[in-house]
Structure 1
Amino acid sequence: MPYKYIKKYCSKILIVGLLVIYSCSPKNNSIRTVSEQSSDIPQLKYSTKNENYVSAHRGGSGIKNYPENCIETFDYLFKNGIQIFEIDVAETKEGNLVLMHDNSLQRTSTGRQDVNQVTLNQLKEYFLVDDFGNKTSFKIPTFKEALKWGKNKPIYFMVDIKKGVDYNDIIKEIKETTMQNQVVLVTYTIGQAKKMHQLAPNMLLSVSMRNEREFNEMINSGIAKDKMVAFTGTKRNDPSLLKKIHEENILVIFGTLGNLDKSSAAKNGQLYRDLEKDGVDIFATDRAIFVHQTINKN
């Protein structure tokens, strides 16, 4: 057979082979399906933990052009590896639940009134402002809009309930969006924790264990330990307390908010690595992306 025909024949075989290989390969390995995402939801138990997590304070703060308590900010952080978002839920004049930290709209939006003095329709006319005073095109989200964004994503919301908001209203919207397994209800006192556990016995709670007294109080409170995540405050604890918490199969949340985040920035993140060695499992921080890039490397 002449050489030119052999060359042409071999080229055809090569092309067919490549087409077969391509047709058998995933069309896009970088895209995760909804079912894959759902199976990747962090299991907030010490016994099943295989990495440490970051909780973005106020849903993400200190990010230029991305305001706090904002769905677009959640999306930006999620794409950068963040899986836990601490959000603040307030109530409008007619009782709609929205994401807002302050009583007043002034710091984080173009509104000037208090949240509970405006209707949802009025509130939706305003735009969110980032931590540097830049007006964005983003709107103040309702609690339900945030929950729907998180649905079928491997994320948790730490839900901080602002003063005056009825716990039952919060729980109702969580159930309506079937997000019971993707929320942690934030509590600050043992009384609040007991009340919340009574209303939502199947939902996780963030409970205060900042010292031995609070640890013993919570462990003996009657609240199911498998529904607890322990917040140990914003002052570094003796690792022995964190060890006791872990022995109860409970994860430790520690807040590096404010001064600790600032001091760690000056030391290239060494504090976060030291806190990992102490036993911190979840870092509540204003520097979510940096902390995420720093931890889990020991």
Structure 2
Amino acid sequence: MLKQYLIPALIVFVLTGLYSFKQTAALHTINTRSAADLKNFFHYTPDRIPFISSHRGGPRKGFPENCIATFENTLSHTTSMLEIDPHYTKDGKIVLMHDPTLDRTTNGHGKVADYTLAELKKLRLKDTEGNLTGYRIPTLDEALQWAKGKTILVIDAKDVPIEVRAQKIVENKAQANALVISYSDEDTKKCYAYNKDIIMEVMMSKEENVEMMDKSGVPWANVIGFVSHQVPESKAIFDAVHKRGAMCVLGSSRNIDQQYTKGQISAEQLKKGYQYLISYGADVIEADLGIEGGAALLPLQQGKSVKAKYFR
């Protein structure tokens, strides 16, 4: 009698283990192991490998934004950094949530800041279709721990100051796997003063931003430039940042991604659009459609590169 229960249980255990192994083994990872590795990874070289930064982690049907299960799904399809959004809870913890309110992305209501972490953990996340899933709101700490050995998190600001975001990276010993977005020269200097290992994605849409960076006292080795959500009229900004040894990020969420989701362009046009952004000067594309973007860039990742050792 015991045998008839043990055998099915054993089969389930083995199959579950195999499935878990398959999920982990199948991830496309960025293997940076130290702060020095991360700086070297982002140092611009003409043979760099272009790749995607998935906006809000790459949400889609069945997979909510700013959710660790979604991160896993994105990396199961393509190499990608993951852009995420932090917000404070009522009791001073930091969770991942794009909006200051809960209504759009969870089955909760009201402001994130009006709930404790324990209360927020009882809520469930919605996917891009508005369907309720079984997934819960992660903390920034959980995301930073998860990212180790897998990818690089790009931590936006929302209501969390840059020095606090940098401190969280240090607390979690995640200097090899995370960077922070800086929206001002003051914040860039503040972050560098706090910790000289932290990489920053700095707004770099104009030549004057480049000149300001030159005068800031912050090394270009600590910077990647976010050029724009739109294709600039001139390639000069890309050339200026590359000349200083830094990579450039260009957003697609407000142009070709939006056109595709509205049915204005085809899948083939979307693919060519991503490839065009790279040919124009971008090294990384911040995309709403991370999986599609990754597939489009695959043909551009086949050549020899000094960066190849970081991609698995």
For the aligned pair, the TM-score class normalised by the smaller chain equals: 0.7 to 0.9
How many residues matched?
266
- Does structure 2 retain, via aligned residues, the 8 Å contact 1:209–1:218? no
Using the TM superposition, give the Cα deviation of residue 189 of structure 1 relative to its aligned residue in structure 2, in angstroms: 1.6
Mapping of residues 8-157 of structure 1, within 5 Å: 31=25, 37=31, 43-47=41-45, 50-61=48-59, 63-153=60-150, 155-157=151-153
Aligned match of 1:277 in 276, 279, 282? 279
Using the TM superposition, give the Cα deviation of residue 83 of structure 1 relative to its aligned residue in structure 2, in angstroms: 2.7
User: In the alignment, which residue of structure 1 is the partner of 2:229?
Assistant: 234
- Does structure 1 retain, via aligned residues, the 8 Å contact 2:30–2:149? no
The DSSP-based 3-state class of the residue aligned with 1:241 is helix
C-alpha RMSD of matched pairs (Å): 2.4
CA distance in 2, matches of 1:177, 1:49: 32
* Bigger RCO of structures 1 and 2 (CA < 8 A, at least 6 apart): 2
- Does structure 1 retain, via aligned residues, the 8 Å contact 2:162–2:180? no
The DSSP-based 3-state class of the residue aligned with 1:47 is coil
CA distance in 1, matches of 2:88, 2:33: 33
* TM-score using structure 2 length: 0.79
User: In the alignment, which residue of structure 2 is the partner of 1:178?
Assistant: 173
Q: Which moved more, 1:214-223 or 1:48-57?
A: 48-57
- Does structure 1 retain, via aligned residues, the 8 Å contact 2:162–2:182? no
Highest Rg: 1 or 2?
1
Question: Residue type of the partner of 2:128?
Answer: D
**Deviations for 1:112-132, whole angstroms, at most 9, x for unmatched residues?**
020110000100010000111
Pairing 1:249–2:245 present: yes
CA distance in 1, matches of 2:280, 2:164: 38
Using the TM superposition, give the Cα deviation of residue 32 of structure 1 relative to its aligned residue in structure 2, in angstroms: 8.4
Unpaired runs of 5+ residues, structure 1, are 1-27
CA distance in 2, matches of 1:290, 1:240: 28
CA distance in 2, matches of 1:127, 1:273: 36
- Does structure 1 retain, via aligned residues, the 8 Å contact 2:224–2:248? yes
Mapping of residues 144-223 of structure 1, within 5 Å: 144-153=141-150, 155-163=151-159, 165-223=160-218
CA distance in 2, matches of 1:234, 1:211: 13
Shift of the 212–115 alpha-carbon distance from structure 1 to 2, 3 Å rule, reads same
The DSSP-based 3-state class of the residue aligned with 1:185 is strand
The DSSP-based 3-state class of the residue aligned with 1:250 is coil
User: In the alignment, which residue of structure 1 is the partner of 2:257?
Assistant: 261
- Does structure 2 retain, via aligned residues, the 8 Å contact 1:56–1:82? no
User: In the alignment, which residue of structure 1 is the partner of 2:5?
Assistant: none
Q: What is the percentage of aligned positions where both structures have the same residue?
A: 28
- Does structure 1 retain, via aligned residues, the 8 Å contact 2:33–2:176? no
The DSSP-based 3-state class of the residue aligned with 1:295 is helix
Unpaired runs of 5+ residues, structure 2, are 1-21, 301-312
